[in-house]
Amino acid sequence: MRNRHSILTLLFISVLLGSCTDKKETESFNLEQQLLKADYSKLQMEKMPSGHLHIVGELNGIKGNFILDTGAGATVIEEKNRGKFNMSAEESEEEATGAGGTNIQMQASDGNNFTFDTFKINDFNLLLMNLDHVNDAFESMGLEKIDGVIGADILTNHNAIIDYSNLILFLKE
């Protein structure tokens, strides 16, 4: 009898303690709200039929189409669009290596301004290189050409958080 009483007492205490939780603990976590409170900017992306994440931005005040590439070490602009985006450039000793091949010659461009919706990056150094391998592949799939690739330099320097399920890129200044 004493065992039964002890078990019932423990059960009652467990139920009582379980009902004393803080309401905030039971509310669902909202990533977007938390990041906006932490001064992140919310940038909407689109998923291309190729699977790439597409984002529209302005480079030096000119609208452009970019893809997000978490594996790209740097942000790269199609060299043929140097004039379109009013970019200065000088030869770089760096050569690119990646999915497009090896020893791809690049140019360096200083003092650029990038804007994605309300998020701005001023006086940004970029690389220019031939992106024919990317754009040829996109064209063969019936997709629009891109102007550049947003790489790990922007993602790392601005504490990027990618919400894949909602196709949102969060960046912090």
pLDDT in tens, 158-172: 999 999 999 999 999
pLDDT, position 89: 84
pLDDT, position 12: 47
User: Over 70: is that where the pLDDT of 141 sits?
Assistant: yes
Amino acid identity of residue 124, one-letter, is F
At residue 17 the predicted structure's pLDDT band, cuts being 50, 70 and 90, is low
Tell me how far apart the alpha carbons of residues 7 and 21 are, in angstroms, rounded to a whole number: 22
Mean pLDDT of the chain: 85
pLDDT, position 173: 87
At residue 90 the predicted structure's pLDDT band, cuts being 50, 70 and 90, is confident
User: Over 90: is that where the pLDDT of 2 sits?
Assistant: no
Task: Indicate the pTM of the whole model.
Answer: 0.77
User: Over 70: is that where the pLDDT of 133 sits?
Assistant: yes
Please work out, in degrees rounded to the nearest 5, the angle formed at the alpha carbon of residue 135 by the alpha carbons of 118 and 133: 125
User: Over 50: is that where the pLDDT of 8 sits?
Assistant: no
Which long-range contacts does 119-125 make (Cβ < 8 Å, 24+ apart)? 119/41, 119/43, 119/158, 119/171, 119/173, 120/173, 121/154, 121/158, 124/75
